[in-house]
Amino acid sequence: MSTAVIAQPTTNSVPNPNPNQALWEKGDFTRLAQTMRRSGEDVVASLNVEPHFNTLDVGCGDGTTALPLAYRAARVRGVDIARNLVDAGNRRFAAAGLANGSIQQGDACDLAGVPDESCDLVLSMFGAMFAPRPVDVARSLVRVTKAGGRIVMGNWIPGDPTLVAQILRISAQYAPPPAGFISPILWGVPDEVVARFGEAGIPADRVETRRDTYRFEFAGSPAGFLAVFRDYYGPTMNAYAAAQAAGKVDDLHRELTALFAAQNRSTDPALSVFDATFLRVTVRV
């Protein structure tokens, strides 16, 4: 019998015709987001947000970067495709007493309801990269940004040796994508980023890319942190389900257990710390 246990979906049982929405509603990303708060604050602190800014956070989850934006900007609107994360984020805004921010359900491919040229800063940390039509994403991000404004993205990098890229690589081996699928981590390839924003009308010299680091801090062991991914992170949940169906769940669990143990940077048994490299994209509109 397998030693790996797969959590059941936590959202309602109504069938969801949108595969991307279903993926992110399948688990509960808030459990993972709790380990990302400090780096989310650090990213926002690095953006030189001015008090008059109207900001947009795309694929914002429950507000890991949207809430820090709201402490600095005049207005922040978050957009996320998952209904459970929209609800969780709005509860966090209310609990913090931040009346200048809110989150709505939406798709990064069109950003319906967000007016043209309405944002001084558009941010997306590991969110918009997972939308299925990347050129439409680039066009939508450009559409809603004011002339002279900025788009900033954080995107995982294919083949990178650090944690998240390796989780996605291993998971894909057990749950191969369907035909025609465009890998989200192509957003971590600089030439792809330049080409996509080029199709949205942005010259290459206005697109800057560089490597940066995001940190996860988990109050527990590496095995405990793996359990969070296994039980609450949609792509990893899918990999475990596919591996279980193929009789390979123990193989997957063994690979990921070794990965998490090797990547932990903490010597404190009560704390696990993981650094993950990402591509930081800055587009000047």
Tell me the pTM: 0.92
Superfamily of domain 19-284: Vaccinia Virus protein VP39 (3.40.50.150)
DSSP label at residue 188: G
Q: Cα 251 from chain centroid?
A: 26
Closest to 214 measured CA to CA, from 240, 188, 192:
188
What does the pLDDT look like over 154-200, one tens digit per residue?
999 999 999 999 999 999 999 988 878 899 999 999 999 999 999 99
Per-residue pLDDT tens digits for 18-39: 888 998 998 899 999 999 999 9
| Predicted confidence (pLDDT) per residue in 211-254, tens digit | 999 999 999 999 999 999 999 999 999 999 999 999 999 999 99
Q: Residues 128, 45, 72, 62: what is their CA dihedral angle, to the nearest 10 degrees?
A: 40
Total count of residues recorded for the chain: 285
The vertex-174 CA angle with 169 and 175, nearest 5°, equals 90
Backbone phi, then psi, for 15, in 5-degree steps?
A: -55, 140
The answer to whether the CB of 175 falls within 8 A of the CB of 206 is no
Could you report the per-residue pLDDT of 54-108, keeping only the tens digit for each? 999 999 999 999 999 999 999 999 999 999 999 999 999 999 999 999 999 999 9
Helix then strand count (H, E) for the chain reads 11, 7
pLDDT digits (tens, 9 = 90+) for 105-158: 999 999 999 999 999 999 999 999 999 999 999 999 999 999 999 999 999 999
* Dist CA 168 CA 166 (whole Å): 5
